[in-house]
Amino acid sequence: MATFKKLKKISVCLRFTPENDIPVGVLALVDGRIAFQFSREFVKRDLQISPFKLPFSEQASFGPTGRYSEGLPFVFAESLSDGWGRLVVDRFLTENGLSPSDVGPLDRLALIGSRGMGALVYYPDMSETDNSIDSLDLPGLLAGVEQVAEGAASEVLPKLAKLGGSPGGARPKILVGINSNDHIISGTEDLPAGYVPYIVKFPVKSEVLGHYECETEYAYSILARLAGIVIPETRLIQIGKQKAFCIQRFDRIQGSSKETNKPFANRVHQHTFGGLLGMEPGQSACDYKHLLLVSTKLTGDKKNSISLFRQMIFNIATHNRDDHARNFSFVMDSNGRWKASPAYDLLFSFGPGGEHSISVMGEYKKPAWKNIVNLGEEFGFSKSEVTGIVQEVEEAIKQWSEIAKQSGVPKALSEKISKNFQMTIMDDRM
């Protein structure tokens, strides 16, 4: 790894296109706290990277003091690795003779450098680049994942740390590029032409889904697409006797060119719903109404609200109760235009205490039809529009058994999942 030097100040930039960094501002330690100040030039551009919690100001401001944010404004805290990524980085630091507790949030942002999700980049860039086009040893990486998960040392730990970037979540994952010949390379840097950026989630044993989390998430992605939900391309790849789930990244784009051989080198700024509102993970006072309010204010386009409303219906119907505030995102282009991101992290789950992470008009367990309609009408959806969305989602879900079978989900698990589907959302409307 790069020589470690504890930092007191770092610069923040936006990189929408390669080699074209837009200075955003500076993060600095001031009397033990982290302060941020926008550059005057950036304020003139009127690109609001976090309009609700980090509005433009000529004065420096201090970040929140919560455990998740680590003193950083939430928009920058989201660049840090968490869950699995944090575990790997901390193990890697320890093996290099560093105490993770001595590596502060500014240092960690510098270790992310230009390898993070979205368009934010940090200087000095202390990340280790990996521009190799050599094929990744996925079986070896999977073995390393299993060793790390068990608390053992692993020879591939440096590689896992380098491939991690900053995608959040508890499940083991890496950033890769995949071409039409299924050649898989590191995907933390800008990819060469012909490669598509993906996140690969490794198979792990789940308390609910056994060893079939990857197959189940793939089946859910197919189901969501049939239900009219915008979701990135997904696929399963074979790793020995197991399968890994791959989902295309939506923070990397080819730009306006229609040529398919153009590299995915352009970026969009990404911010989660929870981060936009400055919510610490685990905060429960959140409703789908808040999500639609943010969408309305941020995008000004009813299509985005309809898309999120449809995803809410899908989550209710398919028993995806891990629908927390960081499982919804918005993306901003170089012109400052926001829109809801494609859906991600759609999977059968019981949720906290058997309830949805986000309520529907105050209901967490089994949202009533009247409240679903009331929520839709509050945002300008007619009852017929709401009914149409529900019917389209339920029609798609009827194909679950066949989709699950084709995806490799065992029959017993498929039936266990479908028994929890809420296929009677509209029963109490009569």
Residues 186 and 111 in one domain: no
Residues 208 and 288 in one domain: no
- Specify if 412 maps to a domain: yes
Question: Six-digit token pair at 357?
Answer: 């992470």
CATH code where residue 370 lies:
1.10.1070
- Specify if 44 maps to a domain: yes
- 62 beta partners: 35
Contacts within 8 Å (CB) and 24+ apart, 304-309: 304/339, 304/340, 305/379, 305/380, 306/381, 306/385, 306/389, 307/229, 307/230, 307/340, 308/340, 309/375, 309/376, 309/379, 309/381, 309/386, 309/389
Residues 229 and 275 in one domain: no
In the chain, what are the helix, strand and coil shares in percent, each to the nearest 5? 35, 20, 45
Q: Which of 65, 93, 123 is the last residue of a domain?
A: 123
Residues 301 and 420 in one domain: yes
- Specify if 213 maps to a domain: yes
Taking Cα atoms as reference points, which of 332, 342, 290 lies closest to residue 311? 342
Contacts within 8 Å (CB) and 24+ apart, 334-342: 334/16, 334/17, 334/47, 336/45, 336/46, 336/47, 336/48, 338/298, 338/299, 339/299, 339/301, 339/304, 340/295, 340/299, 340/304, 340/307, 340/308, 341/250, 341/270, 342/230, 342/231, 342/232, 342/250
Round to whole Å and give the CA distance between 430 and 415: 28
Residues 143 and 110 in one domain: no
Given a contact cutoff of 8 angstroms between Cβ atoms, the answer to whether 280 and 66 are in contact is yes
Round to whole Å and give the CA distance between 89 and 104: 13
- Specify if 2 maps to a domain: no
- Specify if 262 maps to a domain: no
Round to whole Å and give the CA distance between 394 and 61: 48
- Specify if 132 maps to a domain: no
Helix, strand or coil, per DSSP, at residue 68: coil
Residues 397 and 285 in one domain: yes
Q: Are strands 184-186 and 20-30 parallel, antiparallel or unpaired?
A: unpaired
Range of the domain at 234: 138-248
Domain count, the chain: 3
Residues 280 and 237 in one domain: no
Round to whole Å and give the CA distance between 224 and 311: 8
Give the DSSP per-residue string, 221-241: HHHHHHTT-----EEEEEETT
Q: Quote the pLDDT of residue 430.
A: 42
Please report, for residues 61, 110, 128, 228, 407, the alpha-carbon distance to residue 36 in angstroms, rounded to integers and kept in the order given.
Answer: 5, 15, 26, 41, 47
Round to whole Å and give the CA distance between 13 and 26: 9
Given a contact cutoff of 8 angstroms between Cβ atoms, the answer to whether 77 and 106 are in contact is no
Q: Could you tell me which residues come within 8 angstroms of residue 261 by beta carbon, excluding any fewer than 6 positions away?
A: 193, 194
Global pTM exceeds 0.85: yes
Residues 224 and 153 in one domain: yes
Tokens 């989390």: give the residue.
Answer: 213
Residues 216 and 68 in one domain: no
CA atoms within a 13 Å half-sphere pointing along the CA-CB vector of 356: 28
Per-residue pLDDT of the chain (430 residues; tens, 9 = 90+): 555 668 999 999 999 999 899 999 999 999 989 999 999 999 999 999 999 999 998 889 998 877 778 999 999 999 998 888 888 888 888 888 899 989 999 999 999 999 999 999 999 999 876 677 789 999 999 998 888 877 776 788 888 888 876 676 778 999 999 999 999 999 988 899 899 999 999 998 888 899 999 999 999 999 999 999 999 999 999 999 999 999 999 999 986 555 567 889 899 999 999 999 999 876 657 999 999 999 999 999 999 999 999 999 999 999 999 999 999 999 999 999 999 999 999 999 998 888 999 999 999 988 988 999 999 999 999 999 999 999 999 999 999 999 999 999 999 999 999 999 986 555 554 4
- Specify if 261 maps to a domain: no
Q: Could you tell me which residues come within 8 angstroms of residue 7 by beta carbon, excluding any fewer than 6 positions away?
A: 104, 106, 107, 110, 124
Q: Which of 72, 89, 123 is the last residue of a domain?
A: 123
Round to whole Å and give the CA distance between 96 and 1: 8
Residues 96 and 142 in one domain: no
Q: Quote the pLDDT of residue 281.
A: 77
Q: Which of 123, 148, 174 is the last residue of a domain?
A: 123
Cα-Cα end-to-end distance for the chain: 64
Residues 403 and 312 in one domain: yes
Round to whole Å and give the CA distance between 392 and 227: 6
What letter would DSSP give residue 201?
Answer: E
Round to whole Å and give the CA distance between 250 and 325: 18
Single-letter residue type at 258:
K
Residues 116 and 147 in one domain: no
